[in-house]
Structure 1
Amino acid sequence: MSDDKREEKVRSIKLSGFGGYDCLVVQEESCPRPETGEVTVKVKACGMNFADLYTRQGLYTFDGRKPPFVMGMECAGIVKEVGEGVQEFKVGDRVVCWSFHYGMWSEVSKIPATTCHHIPDSMSFEEAVAMPVSYVTAYLVLFDFGNLRRGQSVLVQAAAGGLGWAVTQLCKTVEDVVIFGTASAFKHEIIRENGITHAIDYHSTDFVQEVQSHAPTGVDIIVDSLSGSDFIRSQKVLKHMGRLIHVGISNMIGGEKRSLLRALKVWWQMKNVSLLNLTKNNHAVCGFNMGTLTENNPTRVKEVMAHLIQLYEEGKIKPRIDSVWSFDEVVKATKKMVNRENIGKLVLIPVKEKTDGDPTPQTVDSAVLNPED
């Protein structure tokens, strides 16, 4: 075959099997072509999420999918090619995209046009990839499930992560909201700057006692990304008519590889939710899964995305990018997330420009805040 007809290849991060860091493999794939209703996107940035850790360890995949497959649930870039029937996008458009069937951690991704959205020139690609999982989840949890209103109070678990950062900023779009947030002590100054009213060091302080000392009757909304015993205990600080929304299982992650005992313990603690206690205490417990919502109500997800971009343009929200890593640094980036060292969003890019003599990732403030990074 002549050189001009050689098949185009792109680099992707593939999950070779469930397990440790060595299961994340950078390799070449055939460049995808869009089918009817799809676009291909030249990827400029990919979002990393805690759910990617669940996927790698085999704790949970959205559609029960088994490796090998290309990882990633969100990306941003430039439309490369448009499939038949697509009217909303054209080649050259700047877009953010999401897919819970994975495939986003690639130099070129093939995506249904229904899960893409235009982004303004004022929004960087790195900021854009913070929107689909973190900010859309935060918005739906606070306003669709939580019905957040003026003068209420919210407890945000893991307030320094990508989701916690988004929840905090969206709480501040409502007047007089008191926000409790758990995070390691070295992150407290910056989460307060983001809007947290009461920062709680979960390593040294019982968050239940700390919340009760400031709000004896409890809080109106709890955003739980931890699960397990923390999910059960958090109900002690929920007001009557309060809403507890469960969005993650990060307590199942304790290291590089899955611990079956840890996972079973967290699952068992979650299983034993008492309907009698919920009724007696006038509590609502909700579960949120962005993937299944995207499948069953894609219109609502698109509506929220449009509103979030409007809030961004109005200066009311702004994602914080903790650090940017190349595909070849995916293991280092993953370790940072496993160790809970990030403040805000971790981002992957296909290739990163490096200054001579500077092999370190592009970071924003985190190196100063945590000297161990």
Structure 2
Amino acid sequence: MAKTVIIEEPGGPEVLKVVDREVGEPGPGEIRIRHEACGLNYIDVYQRTGLYKMEMPHALGMEAAGIVEAVGEGVTHLAPGDRAAYASAPPGAYCEARVMPATQVCPLPEAISFEDGAAMMLQGMTVQYLFHRTTPLGPGDTVLFHAAAGGVGLIACQWAKSEGIRLIGTAGTDEKCRLAEEHGADTCINYRDADWVQKVNELTDGKGVQAVMDGVGKDTFMGSLDCLAPLGMMMSFGNASGPVPPFEIATLGAKGSLKITRPTLFTHIADHETCQEMARMLMEKVGSGAVKIRVDQRFPLDQVAEAHRALEARKTTGSTILTV
């Protein structure tokens, strides 16, 4: 048996329940993993509230790290006793142990702690695809990154700096702006106190940025389009402030033949080899010290509702984990 967080209906943090569930044995293509730490991400909120639909009841959580206890037939990249970490569907990572598909579970080097492993996989591989698999970006390019002091944002600030890319961030407080700049942002704008669109255009001498990486959604979407250079790429990868409302596609032409994508990590990691390659690049960045994972909040598994409340209230910085 393993303590597991489930929801029986969509709703607020109060719908999160901790129950005992039987774990069982892995079948073909599966592993059983005992967790040391679990990651907390905004996708968990989307699933809990019903923005992302799931059959009920359902376990929650997309990310964790721990020790492989058993492997099923056909699993060759992992063995019992291996340290491992993952960001993977289906949801169910908020637990002490689980049986799950092995495809997106990745070996975790000894040099990387379980806490860092649990905090970095979903956010870090998201940054990897934003910078390497979405539009060509390289030294000398400038990107705008919203919520630059969050878990994804602080990884992105460091990643950009390690590759010679100028990152302009936004955040909601001066303290968060300083944090983003300490982690490699060229500049971070407090969007509550400044006309951030005007500021971005001033910082780019009116040329705009090559790409916007926007996990905020409704509140920043239209302003982000106004920050792009002609032929620039809008990457709308999250909805922290709510879904982006409908807009006229002709707007993209009028604003400079802009490009737009709504990517998800789980499309990028669906292929086993691609997932493992993305994870290796992330682990090399972390292992070399180019990217440091900042875990600023820790909650016991049975306090998962409080963790969700803190995340939704934007009271968190860096990454948040659940301890098992």
Category of TM-score, reference length = shorter chain: over 0.9
- The 3 A distance-change label for structure 1 pair 342 and 311 is same
8 A contact 1:241–1:283 mirrored in 2? yes
- The 3 A distance-change label for structure 1 pair 279 and 139 is farther
Is residue 2:146 matched to residue 1:160? no
Partner of 1:199: 188
Size of the aligned set, in residue pairs, is 322
8 A contact 1:32–1:108 mirrored in 2? no
Query: Post-superposition shift, 1:280?
Result: 5.9
Partner of 2:82: 93
TM-score, normalised by the number of residues in structure 2: 0.95
Partner of 2:5: 13
After superposition, the C-alpha distances for 1:304-335 in whole angstroms (9 at most, x for unaligned) are 11111122221111111111111111111111
8 A contact 2:83–2:109 mirrored in 1? yes
State which of 299, 309, 316 in structure 2 corresponds to 1:335.
309
State which of 14, 38, 47 in structure 2 corresponds to 1:46.
38
Distance of 1:228 and 1:178 partners within structure 2:
25
8 A contact 1:232–1:273 mirrored in 2? no
Taking only aligned residues, the RMSD between alpha carbons, in angstroms, comes to 1.5
Alignment of 1:262-341 (within 5 A): 266-267=243-244, 269=245, 271-275=246-250, 277-278=252-253, 281-295=256-270, 297-341=271-315
Partner of 1:344: 318
- 3-state secondary structure, aligned to 1:130: helix
**Residue identity matched to 2:249:** S
Is residue 2:139 matched to residue 1:150? yes
- 3-state secondary structure, aligned to 2:226: helix
- The 3 A distance-change label for structure 1 pair 201 and 87 is same
Consecutive aligned runs of 4 or more in structure 1 exceeding 4 Å deviation: none
8 A contact 1:97–1:111 mirrored in 2? no
Alignment of 1:90-239 (within 5 A): 90-175=79-164, 177-183=165-171, 184-215=173-204, 216-239=206-229
Query: Post-superposition shift, 1:276?
Result: 5.4
- The 3 A distance-change label for structure 1 pair 190 and 108 is same
Is residue 2:29 matched to residue 1:37? yes
Distance of 1:90 and 1:160 partners within structure 2:
36
- 3-state secondary structure, aligned to 2:68: strand
**Residue identity matched to 1:246:** S
Q: Mind listing any 5+ residue stretches in structure 1 that lack a counterpart? A: 1-8, 253-265, 351-373
* Comparing 297-306 and 146-155, the one that deviates more: 297-306
Query: Post-superposition shift, 1:292?
Result: 3.0
After superposition, the C-alpha distances for 1:146-205 in whole angstroms (9 at most, x for unaligned) are 321111111100001111112111111212x32111112221222111011111112222
8 A contact 2:230–2:255 mirrored in 1? no
Distance of 1:231 and 1:214 partners within structure 2:
19
- The 3 A distance-change label for structure 1 pair 303 and 275 is farther
- 3-state secondary structure, aligned to 2:100: strand
Query: Post-superposition shift, 1:278?
Result: 3.0
Distance of 1:85 and 1:118 partners within structure 2:
16
**Residue identity matched to 1:69:** H
Q: Which has the higher helix share?
A: 1
State which of 213, 234, 241 in structure 2 corresponds to 1:244.
234
Distance of 1:73 and 1:273 partners within structure 2:
33
Distance of 2:77 and 2:129 partners within structure 1:
25
Q: Mind listing any 5+ residue stretches in structure 2 that lack a counterpart? A: none
Is residue 2:44 matched to residue 1:69? no
After superposition, the C-alpha distances for 1:120-165 in whole angstroms (9 at most, x for unaligned) are 1110111112332111111111121132111111110000111111
Q: Identity percentage over the alignment? A: 29
8 A contact 1:221–1:242 mirrored in 2? yes
Query: Post-superposition shift, 1:229?
Result: 4.5
Query: Post-superposition shift, 1:222?
Result: 0.6
TM-score, normalised by the number of residues in structure 1: 0.83
8 A contact 1:40–1:111 mirrored in 2? yes
Instruction: Pick the structure with greater CA Rg.
Output: 1
Distance of 1:160 and 1:92 partners within structure 2:
35
Query: Post-superposition shift, 1:279?
Result: 6.7
- The 3 A distance-change label for structure 1 pair 14 and 283 is same
Distance of 1:219 and 1:194 partners within structure 2:
20
